[in-house]
């Protein structure tokens, strides 16, 4: 191993970002008042959007003012304690009330937060986090590395499976003093900083939690973030007030309300009526147009925020499915006009999304564009003939909507029609989403294909094992077995040299495209509808869920 760094030195900082922080092009990646890391020149060639500097704290703290109300269809599992959260959709309420060990900057790169920096040993097994001095919990006690250790133990010990990947590689986590937290890993684990910038990195107060226990903590939580939880009606609304001793310059708003409004038309009506300032789950072009027509509103775009692809589920339950033949899968890719989908349903606002990788994720390489299947129905028919299906065949495509993907049902119907046009006679197979997931994992899915739709992952390495490792390794969303991919995945996931990891990932993605693991569709933008009194704020631009509430500012409180 070369180049693993010393504490916060220039070389160490360089490798910090190379190893753990994802790609980017900007020369610096800093946060708040204490910049800690710089970006390696080696990574500058990637296409990941440039890292940007967070707002710089100003001397003296502005008094927060005004109230922001957001409305979303759901908040996922609404636990108050963060260690029982699971996915990105759980985050909005936790984002408001907890700070994490690390955090993502505007471009998605991992930078400092409660830890002001970290180092990794030459063998990639020991990660040392230097704790920031000054941040307080909502009860006024200092946030120390010991709270970090305690929170990590809760995450790994209480069945939080977002922490599963970390936990499986983790040998120990120890706070040697109030300002030093050390992770010892069983094997090199380059994704540790990325995970610590997400749910797994949230910190809760050890002393208070130990004293009162989880149930009382749920009733009277003490957080570490910019807002204190003051009222909670599960499944309905969460209300927060600004924490006046927060360590950053913000928060700039006095109160924050997260409302759950399940019905899209009602969310839109609430936005138009001025009852809420921001809505998520803007799903249709008509809704977008409605927002754009209203002079008091604007549509906030999250470029490439959604990801979609069609996987061949029949692969694992039907040994005789035509989808087992590479040429048939390639035919499926040639049959679908991605540009038409982008233009017709997503207003042309899409980016390529190839084997979980897009220009807004780690691992993107412009050379991958060469492997995108063009729309060529004649080639599709030729490949079907070549595969022994001159008259085509019948197949099914599982069908349901998805809140983060606009017009998903329409897209599915369009895809089915295009496949049918080349001879892959596709019937839609409507299934409620929960049942679809359940049947898939239980191995009782009766459909041949399904469209995977979700929010984009900033770093596809975090989901690679789940989507690409052969199903023989356990329950996952993969539908095929490919030992070649398995070997490279294992190598990549323990490769702390960012350049080498990217090279391995490039090979895997290329293989996935050549073998046509999926019918790849472009990644559409996600949108929020926002009242103009709430200006766009410092946030990870490509993250399709709400965060960084501490930077929200009202133009007219």
| Residues of this chain that bind another protein (CB under 8 A) | 77-81, 84, 86-87, 159, 161-162, 164-165, 218, 233-237, 259-263, 265-266, 269-270, 272-273, 275, 432, 434-435, 437-442, 463, 465-467, 474-477
Q: At closest approach, how far in Å is the CB of 263 from another protein?
A: 5
Q: At closest approach, how far in Å is the CB of 231 from another protein?
A: 12
Hey, what are 67's tokens? 């109230």
Contact between 78 and 260 (Cβ < 8 Å)? no
Q: At closest approach, how far in Å is the CB of 379 from another protein?
A: 34
Alpha helices, DSSP H, located in 34-114 = 91-97
Q: Which contiguous run of DSSP H or E holds residue 264? A: helix 264-272
**DSSP letters for 433-483:** HHHHHHHHHHT----SEEEEEEEPPS-THHHHHHHHS-GGGSS-S--S--H
Residue whose CB is less far from another protein, 62 or 230: 230
Q: At closest approach, how far in Å is the CB of 481 from another protein?
A: 17
Alpha helices, DSSP H, located in 326-471 = 326-335, 338-346, 377-386, 408-422, 433-442, 461-468
Burial of 132 from C-beta contacts in 10 A (0-12 / 13-18 / 19+): buried
Residue whose CB is less far from another protein, 384 or 464: 464
Q: At closest approach, how far in Å is the CB of 475 from another protein?
A: 7
Contact between 186 and 169 (Cβ < 8 Å)? yes
Residue whose CB is less far from another protein, 155 or 551: 155
Residue whose CB is less far from another protein, 170 or 261: 261
Q: At closest approach, how far in Å is the CB of 216 from another protein?
A: 12
Hey, what are 262's tokens? 């399940």
Hey, what are 338's tokens? 């991605």
Residue whose CB is less far from another protein, 263 or 394: 263
Distance CA 311, CA 318 (A): 14
Rounded to 10°, the helix 461-468/483-493 angle is 160
Q: At closest approach, how far in Å is the CB of 78 from another protein?
A: 5
- Dihedral, 375, 381, 382, 384 alpha carbons, nearest 10: 120
Residue whose CB is less far from another protein, 240 or 252: 240
Q: At closest approach, how far in Å is the CB of 432 from another protein?
A: 7
Residue whose CB is less far from another protein, 437 or 491: 437
Residue whose CB is less far from another protein, 78 or 149: 78
Q: Is 12 helix (H, G, I), strand (E, B) or coil?
A: helix
């Amino acid at each position: 191993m070369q180049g693993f760094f010393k504490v916060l030195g220039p070389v160490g900082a360089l490798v910090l970002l190379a190893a753990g922080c994802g790609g980017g092009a900007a020369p610096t990646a800093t946060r708040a008042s204490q910049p800690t890391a710089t970006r390696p020149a080696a990574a500058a060639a990637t296409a990941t959007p440039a890292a940007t500097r967070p707002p710089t704290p100003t001397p003296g703290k502005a008094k927060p003012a005004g109230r922001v109300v957001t409305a979303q269809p759901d908040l996922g599992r609404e636990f108050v304690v963060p260690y029982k959260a699971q996915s990105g959709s759980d985050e909005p309420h936790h984002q408001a009330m907890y700070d994490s060990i690390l955090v993502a900057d505007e471009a998605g790169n991992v930078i400092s937060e409660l830890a002001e920096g970290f180092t990794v040993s030459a063998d990639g097994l020991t990660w040392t986090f230097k704790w920031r001095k000054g941040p307080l919990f909502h009860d006024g006690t200092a946030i120390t590395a010991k709270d970090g250790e305690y929170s990590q133990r809760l995450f790994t010990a209480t069945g939080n499976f977002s922490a599963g990947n970390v936990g499986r590689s983790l040998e120990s986590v120890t706070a040697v003093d109030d300002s030093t937290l050390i992770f010892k890993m069983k094997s090199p684990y380059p994704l540790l900083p990325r995970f610590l910038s997400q749910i797994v990195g949230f910190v809760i107060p050890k002393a208070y939690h130990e004293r009162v226990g989880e149930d009382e903590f749920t009733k009277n939580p003490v957080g570490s973030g910019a807002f204190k939880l003051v009222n909670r009606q599960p499944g309905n609304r969460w209300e927060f007030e600004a924490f006046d001793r927060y360590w950053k310059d913000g928060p700039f708003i006095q109160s924050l309300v997260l409302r759950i409004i399940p019905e899209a038309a009602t969310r839109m009506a609430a936005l138009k009526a001025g009852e809420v300032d921001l809505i998520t789950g803007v799903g249709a072009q008509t809704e977008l147009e409605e927002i754009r027509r209203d002079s008091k509103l604007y549509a906030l775009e999250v470029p490439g925020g959604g990801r979609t692809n069609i996987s061949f589920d029949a692969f694992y339950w039907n040994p005789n499915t035509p989808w087992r033949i590479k040429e048939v899968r390639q035919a499926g890719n040639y049959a679908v006009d991605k540009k038409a989908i982008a233009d017709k349903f997503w207003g042309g606002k899409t980016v390529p999304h190839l084997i979980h990788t897009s220009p807004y994720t780690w691992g993107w390489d412009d050379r991958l564009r060469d492997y995108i299947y063009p729309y060529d129905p004649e080639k599709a028919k030729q490949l079907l003939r070549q595969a022994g299906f001159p008259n085509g065949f019948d197949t099914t495509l599982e069908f349901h909507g998805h809140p983060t993907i606009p017009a998903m049902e329409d897209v599915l119907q369009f895809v089915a029609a295009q496949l049918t046009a080349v001879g892959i006679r596709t019937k839609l197979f409507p299934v409620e989403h929960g049942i679809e997931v359940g049947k898939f994992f239980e191995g009782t899915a009766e459909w041949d294909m399904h469209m995977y739709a979700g929010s984009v992952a900033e770093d596809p390495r975090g989901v690679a094992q789940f989507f690409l490792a052969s199903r023989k390794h356990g329950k996952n969303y993969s539908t095929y077995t490919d030992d070649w991919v398995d070997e490279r995945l294992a190598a990549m996931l323990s490769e702390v040299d960012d350049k080498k990891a990217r090279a391995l990932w490039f090979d895997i993605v290329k293989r996935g495209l050549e073998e046509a693991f999926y019918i790849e569709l472009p990644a559409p933008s996600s949108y929020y509808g926002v009242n103009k009194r709430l200006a766009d704020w410092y946030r990870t631009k490509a993250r399709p869920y709400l965060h960084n509430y501490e930077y929200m500012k009202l133009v007219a409180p």
